[in-house]
Amino acid sequence: MKIIDDFMDGQKMFGEDISRIVNTVLLTIVYILGVGLTSIVAKLAKKNFLDLKINKETESYWSELNLGKSPMQEYYRQF
């Protein structure tokens, strides 16, 4: 029956449109709450997650890992 098939296709298109709208709204809210609030709190606390400042006096931007300073037993069970 063509009427039933057309009705089912219309419902499928409607469901896809509604899911696209709901997903966009929910992901926008999560992004604003998650990333936005984290960014605001980090700026208030003056926290820099990435060290992007350029210092012309430094020879290298590599950071020391100090791998030899921990006891060997700490490396066997890291998790």
Distances (CA, A) of 35 to 16, 39, 58, 71: 27, 6, 32, 37
**How far does CA 65 lie from the centroid of its chain?**
26
Instruction: Give residue 35's pLDDT.
Output: 92
Count of the separate structural domains present in the chain: 1
- Tokens standing for 18? 């509604």
Residue 12 phi/psi, 5-degree rounding, is: -65, -45
Rounded to an integer, the average pLDDT of 8-12 is 93
Contact 42, 49 (CB under 8 A): yes
Q: Which of 13-27, 33-47, 63-77 has the lowest mean pLDDT?
A: 63-77
Domain with 69, as residue range(s), is 2-76
pTM for the model stands at 0.50
Instruction: Give residue 52's pLDDT.
Output: 79
